[in-house]
Homo-oligomer: A and B are copies of this chain.
Amino acid sequence: MDATHEHSPGTPAETVGALGELAVLDRVTRRLPPGSPLLGPGDDCAVVAAPDGRFVVTTDMMVHGPDFRWAWSSPEDVGWKAAATNLSDVAAMGAAPSGLVVAIAAPQETPVTVLEGIADGFRLAIEALAPGIGVVGGDLSTSATFSLTVTAFGDLGGRAPVVRSGARPGDVLAVSGELGPAARGLARLFRDGVDDAGEPDAGRVRANGADADPDVARQRRPVPPVTDGPLAAAAGATAMLDLSDGLAIDAGRLARASGVTLELDVEPALDPVALHGGEDHGLLATFPAGAGLPGGFRRIGLVRARVADDDHGGDRGHGVDLVRGGEPVPTTGWDPYADWDGAAG
């Protein structure tokens, strides 16, 4: 990788194709945290403990183009984000992460250092967000398009899973984690990280100082409040989900699943990016009135009986999802990738 394209996987060196699958796997797996599964890699399956007789599971794929760009994210960033987003889904059930498996498809010309960097990102994210768990298995394939698929597991610790559909009128609406920085970081990259043709450009990112922007850091490496998931469950959370697409969109999902209307507090006011920006991977949860809010949760509103949309002139047939100061709040997000074709960068 040269100085102007630090994150590009296009430089020769030792490539995936030249080294072969086994040699690459050997170099990658030694950088991954093994955790302490009952049985780790090396057989047809790993064996993972499920102490209470159940496990939660989520799977999520990140594809180069729509989900990340080498010009904007280092391999470490990509590994971190793939781990963090899945750990957040586990936390959103009220579960503690218990392990991950990772499948990667890489073009033959990918330098092995890219895969090592991704492994480092997984290790760093796990150390920061779910210390002690391991990457217990994986697969490496070849493809013209780089992608990662992570499947993460978690342990409910004997509690019921916290689903989206359990919010009840009178509950407190609360959020944990950051709101907005990941979206602001992406906006900064779109503004200061593209060449004259509008394509992602690592040199422009650096020249314009965006590498030093803490919001860009959060877009690259979101920090979901993973430990707050089990804390919320233990505190009696009635509903919870991961804020992947933005507070407004995800609040709409919770409201519809629970058959309630969520009312945001008028003060303190959430700014539009906090309300509609995605990818922070905070947790949105509802708690019984009077319950103490655990960990990093703070109140942002309350749960009301479902409001019919005639009252507010909404365009939905099934009621209003989200209101503030008596007015409906659109449950939409903001997707700066929407008009991109995903081919370049």
Q: Pick the interface stretch among A62-70, A194-202, A204-212, A296-304.
A: A62-70
| Known contacts A59-B102, A59-B139; is-contact A50 B50 (Cβ 8 Å) | yes
- Asked if A51 is at the interface of the complex by the 8 Å CB criterion, the answer is yes
Cα(A95)–Cα(B44), bound, Å:
11
Mark contacts of A120-152 with chain B using CB atoms, 8 A cut-off: 1 yes-contact digit, 0 otherwise. Answer: 000000000000000011110111110101010
Cα(A102)–Cα(B42), bound, Å:
22
Q: Which residues of B contact A47 (CB under 8 A)?
A: 54-57, 93, 156, 161
For A151, give its contact among B51, B101, B141, B257 (CB under 8 Å): B101
Q: Which residues of B contact A257 (CB under 8 A)?
A: 42
Cα(A326)–Cα(B172), bound, Å:
76
For A142, give its contact among B55, B66, B99, B163 (CB under 8 Å): B66
Q: Which residues of B contact A102 (CB under 8 A)?
A: 59
Interface of A, helix, strand, loop or mixed by DSSP: strand
- Indicate if the CB atoms of A67 and B141 lie closer than 8 Å: yes
- Asked if A222 is at the interface of the complex by the 8 Å CB criterion, the answer is no
Cα(A95)–Cα(B66), bound, Å:
37
Chain A, 82-101, CB within 8 A of any chain B CB: 88-90, 92-93, 95, 99, 101
Distance in Å: Cβ of A31 to nearest Cβ of chain B: 18
Cα(A47)–Cα(B141), bound, Å:
28
- Asked if A291 is at the interface of the complex by the 8 Å CB criterion, the answer is no
- Indicate if the CB atoms of A103 and B44 lie closer than 8 Å: no
Q: Which residues of B contact A43 (CB under 8 A)?
A: 92-93, 161, 163-164, 241
22 contacts between A and B (CB under 8 A): A38-B161, A39-B161, A42-B164, A43-B93, A43-B161, A43-B163, A45-B95, A46-B57, A46-B58, A47-B55, A49-B53, A49-B54, A50-B53, A50-B54, A50-B55, A57-B153, A59-B138, A66-B142, A101-B151, A141-B147, A144-B342, A145-B145
